[in-house]
Chains A and B, each alone.
Chain A
């Protein structure tokens, strides 16, 4: 039982770490602010969720479990809000989304 839980937990942590990595690569590689934010959201949602779920399995029934759940709820509420505020502020200050079609040269 414990071994199975450990295995699931490790898998979740690894997958979570991979999602964080993907988010980081996306932030560096995407062309403009909005697509970068889109990439970063992988870190905020899948990465954060999987890492915390993996840690929850490691914590067992303890105080750490409650704390991790609190962190999860807190991040679950605040990071979309922060993303919204960032995108909204960018749009209001005149950042137009770039036309990716033109950049790739696929257009006519």
Chain B
């Protein structure tokens, strides 16, 4: 049954991918990429990677689609004239694809217990997580504690991406005095659509609540800072779409966004430094409490919070940067 479902999903993925490449209308390409992300999320879920599925659904299908649409508002809806077919790229792409397909024959079968990945460090993590970290979700234990350095790096990658978008789309902006009617005319919001507004505004608090649940329940169930940050950002973006970008910026002002952008990454790093000051290694949470496993809990809670704050800060910053350019 799972095999049939997987085959169906993968076939759909290929079809959607071909459709994305073929579509000349960029708007439909964006919508198709949202569908691609949702299919991918289901695929991850079938593979028991619930944490990844949650991220893919929130970022890929939710936030990324809105950001693409923001970019489209700045450019145009149709693709440029295509250059005539070029043979060299086709040959290279075909050769690479063929090589990759050939390489898959060397892969272990899906779910094979003798696959190398199940024989290396994974058994050690599964065996020692209950003793060393004492939380049920091994993914969070690996991500936050065993491989905390990698996650710190990821947070700084996200942080750098946010800075990059800010520096390209412009931090400076001139404030122009305009009247209320002009402002309304410029709004690309749904403010005059009553039904989506009322329903959407009703959804916002529940989405935020779900984000908090995903954030603070990440040690027990799928979830954590990355997912929660994306979901929280999605709820604020929904509010901004419904009420207009200016009201969204009133809700989460710019100084707060900057603070979130840097503050989350800072919190993550600071936890590591505090660990060093207390006599442990960098990001060695054992020393944060008299009982090592409680120290791990505290450390994980704090670093996940840092991850969530930075991720939502970056996503909101990028969204506002696009929206402000579009409404000019």
Residues of A within 8 A of B199 (CB): 77-78, 81
Whether, in the assembled complex, B122 has its beta carbon less than 8 Å from a beta carbon of chain A, the answer is: no
CA distance A77 to B196 in the complex (A): 10
Docked-complex contact A85 and B193, CB < 8 angstroms: yes
Main secondary structure of the interface of A (DSSP, over half): helix
Docked-complex contact A88 and B193, CB < 8 angstroms: yes
Considering only CB atoms, which chain B residue lies closest to A88 in the complex?
A: B193
Docked-complex contact A84 and B202, CB < 8 angstroms: no
Considering only CB atoms, which chain B residue lies closest to A78 in the complex?
A: B199
CA distance A78 to B199 in the complex (A): 7
CA distance A77 to B202 in the complex (A): 10
Docked-complex contact A85 and B196, CB < 8 angstroms: yes
Within 8 A of B (CB), among A66-97: 77-78, 81, 84-85, 88
CA distance A39 to B200 in the complex (A): 24
Considering only CB atoms, which chain A residue lies closest to B190 in the complex?
A: A85
Within 8 A of A (CB), among B180-232: 190, 193, 195-196, 199-200, 202-203
Residues of B within 8 A of A77 (CB): 199, 202-203
CA distance A78 to B203 in the complex (A): 9
CA distance A78 to B196 in the complex (A): 9
Residues of A within 8 A of B195 (CB): 81, 84-85
Considering only CB atoms, which chain A residue lies closest to B206 in the complex?
A: A74
CA distance A88 to B200 in the complex (A): 16
Residues of B within 8 A of A88 (CB): 193
Considering only CB atoms, which chain A residue lies closest to B210 in the complex?
A: A70
Considering only CB atoms, which chain A residue lies closest to B202 in the complex?
A: A77
Interface mask (A29-64 → B, CB under 8 Å = 1, otherwise 0): 000000000000000000000000000000000000
- Chosen A-B contacts, 16 in total, with CB atoms closer than 8 Å, are A77-B199, A77-B202, A77-B203, A78-B199, A78-B203, A81-B195, A81-B196, A81-B199, A81-B200, A84-B195, A84-B196, A85-B190, A85-B193, A85-B195, A85-B196, A88-B193
